[in-house]
């Protein structure tokens, strides 16, 4: 028996989609599957069920059965991509989600899933390309795009997009804070470029020792010797000279943790996260220290939250 089946909100899966985007769009993402066999329907809905209980391998096998029946069904490709992504099989996830996107380039859910594939692989350039398409369709994605611009150190574009959002939505405290950070980063880049200028003579090029490396060596030595007062002094001076270096804020937070200035440590460590760019090792260290600081002030909930973040990234 053939029948018309409506699948509502099929695409609400693992994507990192701002909830505001869903609310603003007010879309149900309704997909009509017409004239499909009972075998297709049975396998498809069982696949959704298995995916829902995190049995992704079984869901994939069922979806592959569906694909034999309907080889060019974009919804099946989309669901296959989602399940492969859950298993960290990124190339297969990208392949299937790209098929869905190519079949329906205007589908915001497909594009969002593709964005997520690139983000988990730290492919910033491709993430930006997809995020720009999404931002053109929905303002909520502009916040995501700002973070990607910052990650690629394109702070000027991040600032320009912040201005654009302010005009559309009005000024917010969070965007004020972001603007301060990115402006500071631009100034810091200029300062660091001056500090690392090469000295050229007629015979060779003499490059000054990178001052950041010198400071980091001092920090590492202080940590190795468990000299946390010295670490605090070094990191304070480092932050004053280089206010955009996540590692220096981490060292500052570590020092404050060790001398039992826990609330100050939390502030420094959160700033370290704000300035962090593509460094999983440092990120996990920061989360570990945040968990330690929150434990010290008796906030077990926050401590566990940061412990989980650290484990997730390790």
Q: Mean pLDDT of successive 10-residue segments in the chain (314 residues)?
A: 37 38 38 60 90 90 90 91 90 91 91 90 88 88 85 84 84 79 78 59 45 88 91 89 88 94 92 84 92 92 85 57
In a domain, 90, yes or no: yes
In a domain, 216, yes or no: yes
Whether the Cβ atoms of residue 222 and residue 198 lie closer than 8 Å to each other: no
**Which of 121, 138, 161 delimits the end of a domain?**
121
* Mean per-residue pLDDT over the chain, rounded: 80
Statement to judge: residues 11 and 117 lie in one domain: yes
Q: What confidence score (pLDDT) does residue 120 get?
A: 84
In a domain, 153, yes or no: no
The CA distance from 23 to 9, in Å, is 13
For residue 235, the enclosing domain spans 211-313
In a domain, 202, yes or no: no
Residues 22, 25, 31, 32, Cα dihedral to 10°? 140
Query: Which token pair is 236?
Result: 């304070």
Number of domains in the chain: 2
In total, the chain counts a number of residues equal to 314
In a domain, 143, yes or no: no
Statement to judge: residues 217 and 113 lie in one domain: no
Whether the Cβ atoms of residue 61 and residue 84 lie closer than 8 Å to each other: no
**Which of 121, 156, 184 delimits the end of a domain?**
121
Q: What confidence score (pLDDT) does residue 273 get?
A: 87
Whether the Cβ atoms of residue 98 and residue 129 lie closer than 8 Å to each other: no
**Domain containing residue 230: CATH number:** 1.25.40.10
Residue range 213-231, pLDDT digits in tens? 888 999 999 999 999 999 9
DSSP string for residues in 250-292: HHHHHHHHHTT-HHHHHHHHHHHHHT--S-HHHHHHHHHHHHH
Q: What confidence score (pLDDT) does residue 7 get?
A: 42
Whether the Cβ atoms of residue 194 and residue 178 lie closer than 8 Å to each other: no
Kindly report the pTM of this predicted structure: 0.53
In a domain, 184, yes or no: no
Cα–Cα distances in Å, from 159 out to 56, 139, 143? 40, 15, 11
Q: What confidence score (pLDDT) does residue 186 get?
A: 81
The CA distance from 93 to 113, in Å, is 9
Q: Which residues pair with 205 in a beta bridge?
A: 200
DSSP string for residues in 131-171: HHHHHHH-TTHHHHHHHHHHHTT-HHHHHHHHHHHHHHH--
Residue range 137-153, pLDDT digits in tens? 888 888 888 888 888 88
Query: Which token pair is 207?
Result: 């490059």
In a domain, 75, yes or no: yes
Radius of gyration of the chain (CA): 24
Question: Three-state DSSP class for 1?
Answer: coil
In a domain, 141, yes or no: no
**Which of 121, 149, 181 delimits the end of a domain?**
121
Statement to judge: residues 10 and 116 lie in one domain: yes
């Amino acid at each position: 028996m053939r029948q018309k089946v409506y699948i509502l909100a099929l695409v609400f899966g693992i994507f990192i989609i701002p909830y505001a985007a869903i609310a603003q769009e007010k879309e149900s993402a309704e997909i009509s599957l017409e004239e499909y066999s009972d075998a297709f329907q049975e396998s498809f809905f069982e696949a959704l069920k298995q995916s829902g209980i995190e049995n992704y391998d079984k869901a994939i096998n069922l979806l592959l059965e569906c694909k034999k029946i309907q080889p060019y069904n974009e919804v099946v490709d989309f669901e296959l991509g989602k399940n492969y992504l859950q298993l960290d099989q990124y190339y297969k996830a990208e392949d299937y989600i790209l098929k869905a996107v190519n079949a329906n380039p205007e589908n915001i859910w497909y594009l969002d899933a593709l964005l997520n594939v690139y983000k988990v692989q730290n492919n910033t350039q491709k993430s930006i390309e997809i995020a720009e398409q999404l931002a053109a369709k929905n303002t909520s994605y502009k916040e995501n795009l700002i973070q990607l611009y910052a990650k690629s150190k394109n702070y000027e574009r991040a600032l320009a997009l912040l201005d654009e959002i302010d005009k559309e939505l009005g000024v917010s405290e969070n965007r004020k804070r972001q603007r301060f950070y990115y402006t500071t980063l631009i100034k810091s880049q200029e300062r660091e470029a001056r500090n690392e200028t090469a000295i050229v003579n007629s015979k060779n090029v003499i490059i000054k020792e990178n001052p950041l490396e010198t400071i980091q060596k001092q920090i590492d030595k202080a940590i190795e010797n468990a000299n946390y007062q010295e670490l605090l002094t070094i990191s304070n001076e480092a932050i004053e000279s280089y206010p955009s270096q996540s590692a220096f804020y981490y060292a500052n937070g570590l020092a404050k943790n060790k001398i039992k200035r826990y609330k100050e440590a939390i502030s420094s460590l959160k700033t370290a996260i704000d300035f962090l760019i593509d460094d999983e090792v440092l990120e996990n260290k920061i989360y570990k220290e945040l968990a330690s600081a929150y434990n010290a002030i008796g906030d077990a909930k926050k401590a566990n939250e940061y412990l989980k973040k650290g484990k997730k990234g390790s």
